Structure 1
């Protein structure tokens, strides 16, 4: 008898926990609805948590019903087609849920922030949403660093692709600061310090006279957004034009960036002496 009682109690407890867990289900779907660009697909999702007497209010709209709510989101994406929405942790009180949200554009620029209040009907649906705007919202330090890291990685990836894959040197010009410094090992025929894009292109041209290269191993990217530094590690396979010999060599490039531009590059060869001798050798 005690065993049966315990099992029943366990089922009841599990049921209560499941109810608490599922309580946020309509809010989860609501957030996915706002992230869905396709109007028809979004409308199907809306119907699962929204009723014809459900309402949505914010400073720009006050509507009721399924189709009207879908139209609000359609208009939103017409105005901000590249919007990316993120939200914070949820606070639950009885049948009310509240949370903060932010909208950024494709360049990670903050457009707006605010706070959402949802009233649930206890049946897995939303009966009312009130959305407050905060145009003075700011990104947290962690969000700023995350966005900065993403931007800097894109810049370095573009640099790598243009220089080593498409071999379009001119494509890297917009990525380089006017005073940017490139440091090559002094033991190399094209070694030294080069300042500015024009000097960089002369160095690239000089190295191209000595060898051809292919990427043997794709780069691995490391970054420290607090220092605006990106480091990449990759392996090149070179063919010396004097001797026709080939050599595989690991490379590390250290990038400094500021305000969306590369300000310095320091290049490290796994064995600079070996690479220099490889370039000088003859048939």
Structure 2
């Protein structure tokens, strides 16, 4: 008998969870509506959850209906074309849902924050939205670190592309800090410590005299924003200009950054001695 009661309890519990999840469906669509930049595509989404008597209010607008709501979002993207919206966990009570939200630009600058209150009609549609703005909103420490991590990864990815694919040294010059340090293993023919872009350029030129390379395996990125550090792991296939021989070898590069610029790089070869001998060998 207890087993039957337990099974019934699980059935009811799972049903309640499913009901709660379904209740949030119009809120999920509502958030996607705000993230859609194409007006026609957005209008189709709005019609799923919005009625002609549904209302939206915030400090800048008070409207009713489907088209009017779409126009509010159109005006928003005219003002903030690169806006990125994020939202926090939802609090549900009866047919009301509330949550915090933030808007940042493409450079992760906080534009606006606030809290949303939604009244649902229980049939999968939104009856009313009231949006409160919080001009004193700030990014959490986790948000700051996440934004910093994304920025660092973009810089490092651009460095990798410029060095190993497009061979664009001008872009690299823009990505590195004045006096940035590049530490190459002493056992290599181009080994040593190089400071500043001019020295880096000499090192790149010296290595290019010794071998050609292709990226055999694309990089995997590891990042620690709290330390402003990014590690790249990838594999190169090199062809020695002296011997004509080829060698495949994994490499990891440890990069440090500050204020969106690379301040130091230290590459680690899977077998530095083998790579050095490969470069020095003759036909």
Which residue matches 2:235? 235
> Which structure 2 residues correspond to residues 261-272 of structure 1 after superposition, within 5 A?
261-272=261-272
Output the TM-score relative to the length of structure 1: 0.92
Say if 2:43 is the partner of 1:46: no
- Residues 230-275 of structure 1 show CA distances to partners (whole Å, capped at 9, x for unaligned) of 1111121222222222222221111001110000001111222222
SS in 1 for 2:227: coil
Which residue matches 1:23? 23
- Residues 154-202 of structure 1 show CA distances to partners (whole Å, capped at 9, x for unaligned) of 1111111111111112221111000210001112221110001111001
> Which structure 2 residues correspond to residues 133-212 of structure 1 after superposition, within 5 A?
133-212=133-212
Task: Tell me, in whole angstroms, the C-alpha distance in 1 between the residues paired with 2:38 and 2:247.
Answer: 52
Output the TM-score relative to the length of structure 2: 0.92
SS in 2 for 1:156: helix
Task: Tell me, in whole angstroms, the C-alpha distance in 1 between the residues paired with 2:171 and 2:163.
Answer: 8
Say if 2:225 is the partner of 1:225: yes
Task: Tell me, in whole angstroms, the C-alpha distance in 1 between the residues paired with 2:195 and 2:276.
Answer: 22
SS in 2 for 1:137: coil
Which residue matches 2:256? 256
Task: Tell me, in whole angstroms, the C-alpha distance in 1 between the residues paired with 2:178 and 2:49.
Answer: 55
* TM-fit CA distance, 1:89: 1.0
Change (3 A) 1:178 1:8: closer
Which residue matches 1:3? none
SS in 2 for 1:226: helix
* TM-fit CA distance, 1:15: 5.8
Task: Tell me, in whole angstroms, the C-alpha distance in 2 between the residues paired with 1:26 and 1:246.
Answer: 58
SS in 2 for 1:266: strand
- Residues 112-152 of structure 1 show CA distances to partners (whole Å, capped at 9, x for unaligned) of 11000111222222221110111221111111111111111
Which residue matches 2:105? 105
* TM-fit CA distance, 1:32: 1.2
Which residue matches 1:83? 83
SS in 2 for 1:108: coil
| Runs of at least 4 residues off by over 6 Å | 6-14
* TM-fit CA distance, 1:40: 1.4
Task: Tell me, in whole angstroms, the C-alpha distance in 1 between the residues paired with 2:7 and 2:250.
Answer: 63
Task: Tell me, in whole angstroms, the C-alpha distance in 2 between the residues paired with 1:200 and 1:61.
Answer: 55
Task: Tell me, in whole angstroms, the C-alpha distance in 2 between the residues paired with 1:184 and 1:27.
Answer: 53
Give the length in aligned residue pairs: 279
Unaligned 5+ residue runs, structure 2?
Answer: 1-5
Name the Cα RMSD after superposition. Answer: 2.1
Change (3 A) 1:202 1:15: closer
Change (3 A) 1:273 1:62: same
Instruction: Please say which of residues 257-266 and 219-228 is displaced more in the overlay.
Output: 219-228
SS in 1 for 2:136: coil
Which residue matches 1:115? 115
Say if 2:73 is the partner of 1:61: no
SS in 1 for 2:278: helix
